[in-house]
Amino acid sequence: METRIEAVLFDWGGVLIENPAPGLMDYCARTLGVSVQDYVRAHNAHGEAFQKGAIVEAVFWQRVCRDLNRLLPRQGSLWGEAFRAVYRPRAEVFALARRLREAGYRISLLSNTEIPAMEFFVELGYEAFDALTFSCAEGVFKPEREIYERAARKLGTVPARCVLIDDRLDFIEGARDAGMQGIVYEDLEQVKRGLAGLGVPAGR
């Protein structure tokens, strides 16, 4: 007998909101006065530690600006400023999360993100979620098995009763390795069909 789905987990960037990464890279590159290519290279060298919460934002910029030979940004939180500037929510996906919660499913956010972005999310006060799991608060990130297991525990269930909606195949594969179902986000209608195939009615 198939395991009944009790919980639906949503990725943030690329699912609940438009993928912020290109805008973030461009915003930070322009602020620091470097090319996007150079910024991305420096960012990628230190971004994992920032995303896992292993370093605070000030240390992240110290390392990035050292690599780029640039002065530190004057902003209190350049990353937070950039995130706010490029934030584009998908109202219809948030609406899906709310409908599923009203139908009795437990709903979670599961995101690889940095502390300033996490603080912004909390500030927005979304009410569609029973739990929030951010990589920067957990010290682990997708596709590591532990973050999926923690996200399920926060919902009071087990991975086998969860489905993750994420725009990255490698993160979906990580979820499946941890025992979850997974749907790679392409568009809302495709996600609804995927949920229906798992016995989760997603409405109109």
| Cα–Cα dist 118/133, whole Å | 10
**The amino acid at 101:** R
Q: Contact at 8 Å (CB) between 154 and 186?
A: no
Question: Domain residue spans in the chain?
Answer: 7-19+89-197, 21-86
Assign domain 7-19+89-197 to its CATH architecture: 3-Layer(aba) Sandwich (3.40)
Residue 96's nearest CA partner among 176, 186, 189, 198 is 189
* 3-class state of residue 87 by DSSP: coil
**CA–CA distance, 165 with 172 (Å, rounded to integer):** 8
Give how far the C-alpha of residue 79 lies from the chain's centroid of Cα atoms, to the nearest Å.
Answer: 15
Supply the pLDDT for residue 132.
97
Same fold, 7-19+89-197 and 21-86: no
Q: How confident is the chain (204 residues) per 10-residue block, as mean pLDDT?
A: 86 97 98 98 98 97 98 95 97 96 97 97 94 98 98 97 98 98 96 95 74
Nearest to 16 by CA among 155, 113, 156: 113
Classified by CATH at the fold level, domain 21-86 comes out as DNA polymerase; domain 1 (1.10.150)
pLDDT of residue 1: 45
d(CA 95, CA 90): 9
User: What stretches of the chain show up as alpha helix (H) in DSSP?
Assistant: 21-32, 36-51, 57-68, 78-86, 91-102, 115-124, 135-138, 145-154, 169-177, 188-197
